[in-house]
Amino acid sequence: MLKKKSLLGAVVSAALLFGMGACGNSSSGSSSSGELTMTIWDEAQKKGMEEMTQAFMKENPNVKVKVTVTPFDQYFTKLETQARGNNMSDVFWMPPEYLPKYVNGDKLLDMSEDIKKDSVDMGKYPKSVVEALSKNGKVWAMPKDYSTVGLWYNKTLFDKAGVSYPDDSWGWKDLASAAEKLTNKAAGQYGIVADNDSNFYSSLMYQNNVKVTDANGKSEIDTPAMHEALNFANSFLKKGYSPSISDQASTTPDQYFESGKAAMIYSGSWMPSEYTASGQKVDVAPLPKGKIRATPMAGLGYAIAKNTKNADAAWKYVKFMSGKTANEIQAKTKTAIPAYEGTQDAIIKAWPDINFKSFVDSSDYGTAPYYIDAWEKFKTVWGDGVGDILAGKTPVDTGLASLNKQVQSIIDEYQK
């Protein structure tokens, strides 16, 4: 019996070892025959990505591309591990937030020369997206799409409360008074979900003309503009127009909105399929204006691994994926708002029941944080700190003052 067991163990572990060996072989020998892999994190976009890739392979029959998905929760953990072993996919999605780290680590292929050689017109993409994917005067990823945040609202609840639908004339005051009118405590209905998941408070910050840091890494957390923005965010929670942050730990902000328990939510251009399937009558409007018009805007790019064995094919593929034809497919398949100029009409038409155009139009005033090199080091401290303030654990003024010191000291230590 005992012998049998150890034999089994030996067979199993031998199989594991050989299995690992086989894995190693296949990944190192794949590229010479014109094979590429692209890793993405969104299962919902896989179909669209594959359709675009098919179109590429039709034009380039000698290159084969495989699209694989790593769930978002593990995407960057895995990418970092692979990068350390110089074993990344040839092509992969790269958001601006992580770009500095990979550029500093010398893990990405510089595309500037290829762009010049093939005279790719970078003017076809939103300037902010191109800037976010550039560093040290070079382009490290080609624009794929962008997303913006809008004011989603529940038409039924607005009708019932006799409040007119939001439009681009709305400002902060209109938002506050609508939230008050739409709150019905007896029915367990809230005017808005003021969540601590950054879309909401970042929007208010940008509209009050303030970011976490300036471009050089000086914290702007303890400034009057920041205090004002967070006090405004906090007012919805304090007055009970929003479920409390601790209630949102049980029922998520999206669930409040989708179950008709909240009339408004600040959420993104990636939500239509979920919100329209919730059974509520929903629509979306541009974000109410503060001192200035602003919306959090996030670009996304296709990056190429520095050590890819097939740089030529990878560039060809990325050029195609960020070009006009592929972006038209991206729009038509409702995959994401394409970054290429003039290809957005198809996705606007693909969502006829909602004002999807507002997401595209608001890209004109899209804003993003300065992703300085130390961003990764302080982002959780910043997020936790704002979370504590909105949860009522720390008051706005002292909370921001101490958060300012913490974040600045992390940045200073990093930049030393």
Q: Which residues bind another protein (CB under 8 A)?
A: 6-7, 9-10, 13-14, 16-17, 76-77, 80, 83-84, 101-102, 104-107, 195-197, 244-252, 376-377, 380, 383-384, 387-388, 390-391, 393
Mention every residue, 6+ apart, whose C-beta is less than 8 A from residue 253. 193, 195, 197, 262, 265, 267
Q: 135-154 burial, b if ≥16 CB within 10 A, otherwise e? A: beeebbbbbbbbbbbbbbbb
Q: Which is nearer to another protein, 129 or 229 (CB)?
A: 229
Q: Which is nearer to another protein, 27 or 104 (CB)?
A: 104
| Angle between helical axes of 224-238 and 396-415 (0-180°, round to 10) | 130
Q: 310-334 burial, b if ≥16 CB within 10 A, otherwise e? A: bbebbbbbbbbbbbeebbbbbbbbb
Shortest spacing between CB 67 and another protein, in angstroms: 24
CA distance 100 to 85: 19
Q: Which is nearer to another protein, 11 or 292 (CB)?
A: 11
Q: Which is nearer to another protein, 266 or 356 (CB)?
A: 266
β-bridge partners, 263: none
Q: Which is nearer to another protein, 148 or 248 (CB)?
A: 248
Instruction: Say if strands 295-304 and 91-94 run parallel, antiparallel, or are unpaired.
Output: antiparallel
Shortest spacing between CB 28 and another protein, in angstroms: 18
Which amino acid is residue 152, in one-letter code? Answer: W
The residue assigned the tokens 């001192």 is: 291
Shortest spacing between CB 54 and another protein, in angstroms: 32
Q: Which is nearer to another protein, 34 or 383 (CB)?
A: 383
Contact 256, 262 (CB under 8 A): yes
Q: Which is nearer to another protein, 149 or 178 (CB)?
A: 149
Shortest spacing between CB 409 and another protein, in angstroms: 14
Shortest spacing between CB 292 and another protein, in angstroms: 26
Contact 344, 331 (CB under 8 A): yes
Shortest spacing between CB 204 and another protein, in angstroms: 16
Shortest spacing between CB 124 and another protein, in angstroms: 32
